[in-house]
Amino acid sequence: MSEFNPILSKTDIRGQSPFARRTVPEASTSLVFYKEGQDALVVMPGERAPMRSQLVFGKYSWLYVVDMSEFFWTIGCNLPSQTNSFNFKASARISCSVADPVTVARRNITNIRQVLDALIVDEMKVVSKQFEVDQSNLAKDPIKSHVKR
């Protein structure tokens, strides 16, 4: 299983030189300046980060660079049918991107697939149990609609 680690880097910014160059996010990344118990500061592409001196002497301890680009993968699984002794063989093509970089930093999420794969398969199972194994073609659209919501 390939993983999607949205945290490209995590840097301790305490004690860094206040005269260092100002950090600017690259395309499809965001910068999250963070310290436990404080409000985080998010800098998106096209925005300028605060001066280094404001950060070093300020309230932030960590700088996270978070990948905001879209990531794609395929899940393969067996889904139960209405008759539990038979399974559907299924696959789903998934795409996702980070919507909230502060949550990624605060929770230190380093593998989005580990979080999402189980949730997506569980949601697919909710619908697959409504169909018999010979109705797999009928089950595709309802499963897809249920997971997309």
Confidence (pLDDT) at 18 = 60
In 32-111, which ranges are continuous DSSP H helix? 52-56, 101-107
89 φ, ψ (degrees, to nearest 5): -90, 125
Confidence (pLDDT) at 53 = 67
Confidence (pLDDT) at 103 = 95
The residue behind tokens 């559907």 is 88
Q: What is the pLDDT of residues 19-28, one digit of tens each?
A: 666 677 888 9
Q: Which regions in the chain score pLDDT beneath 70?
A: 1, 16-22, 52-58, 149
